[in-house]
Amino acid sequence: MRRSEICAVCAIITAVMICASSCSGSDKPQETSDTKKTAVTASAQAPKNIITGFIDLSDDDDTAPVTEAETEDASEPAEESASGITDDSPALPETAAPETETVTETTTAVTEETTVQTSAETTAQTTAETTAGTTAETTAAASSGSYDPSFFANDYFIGDSIYTGLTGYGYFPDSQVFAKVGLNPQSARTSELKGMTAVSKAQGLQPARIYIMLGSNGLAYMGNANMANNMKLLVEDLKAVCPDSTVCVVSIPPVTKAHNDAGQETMDMVNDYNSRLKTMSSEAGVTYLDLCSQLLNEDGYFSKTYAEADGLHFLGAAYKRMLSFFQSSVS
């Protein structure tokens, strides 16, 4: 580079600095007019070669001109330095991806465990509710008269007009039932049906169980103590001929309030007689079945659900309830 050119550059730089200072209103001393003229003269004398807006300060054979693109590239490191991130800056540590994955996996595991636990609790609760519902339905079915007819296949029934419904409604064949209208504990020992007494028929059958229900016909005139004593004699006769049979003494059924108020057979009579039967059964070593309590309403009388219009005999529902009660009591 020639000396004259160097001087021109220096003059230009000085002029620029003086101009900047003057425009900013700084406190530096103002240059004289002679100085400004010198700077302008030097600037005018400097050769110019305008390439992309820059002054060419080099010889044609020395250095390649500085282009605008190169100037932009050169400014990039400065901008990056200003932001604090350069190519030479140390690399930032990687984000904690593994830790995030671990937390995610843990959360997933907890969620799955909670889901399994909730599912198990729901299943357990559903099972418990289903079991409870099934039990309630079974109990309700038994209360409404559910029973298994095959359970009574080898059983035998002795009774009065109420028991005639066992064959009349088709629950059992005649071979399993000894029942007559007006039969009572005393006449049952001697009365015959088709050439057989209740005891002789039992002897031929050798049943698994014998159910005796007698006494409703004698309440009004035989006296409870007398009937209970005759019942004891009948039980002894049956035990003698059927030693392997289970003898069951069944309480007589209740009466409705209307029947009770008529005064011929009352609930006081029924309760007293049944109490005597229970005591007798215990003394004789046989089973006592309290059917009466199964047929009562909330007022302590024969429920209309089970009672015939006369307030003494059975509707069809009463037979089913009776057989259901028998089965649940002796099985």
**4: confidence class by pLDDT, cuts 50, 70, 90:** low
DSSP summary character for residue 69: H
- pLDDT of 230 > 80? The answer is yes
- pLDDT of 75 > 70? The answer is no
Spatial CB neighbours of 116, under 8 Å, sequence gap ≥ 6? none
Give the count of beta carbons closer than 10 Å to the beta carbon of residue 162: 23
Q: How far apart are CA 146 and CA 327, in angstroms?
A: 10
pLDDT, position 20: 55
The dihedral over CA atoms of 76, 82, 86, 90, expressed in degrees to the nearest 10, equals 180
Lowest-confidence segment of 45-54, 105-114, 263-272 by average pLDDT: 45-54
**105: confidence class by pLDDT, cuts 50, 70, 90:** low
Q: Which domains does the chain have, with CATH numbers?
A: 3-70 (no CATH), 149-330 (3.40.50.1110)
pLDDT, position 22: 52
Taking a C-beta distance cutoff of 8 angstroms, is the pair 250, 289 a contact? yes
- Residue 209 phi/psi, 5-degree rounding, is -140, 145
Mean pLDDT of the region 37-50: 42
Q: How far apart are CA 210 and CA 202, in angstroms?
A: 8
With H, G, I as helix, E, B as strand and everything else as coil, classify residue 72: helix
Taking a C-beta distance cutoff of 8 angstroms, is the pair 216, 253 a contact? yes
DSSP summary character for residue 290: -
pLDDT, position 145: 75
Mean pLDDT of the region 94-122: 48
Q: How far apart are the first and last CA of the chain?
A: 129
pLDDT, position 12: 73
**167: confidence class by pLDDT, cuts 50, 70, 90:** very high
pLDDT, position 331: 83
E strands present in 146-256: 155-159, 177-179, 192-193, 196-197, 209-213, 246-250
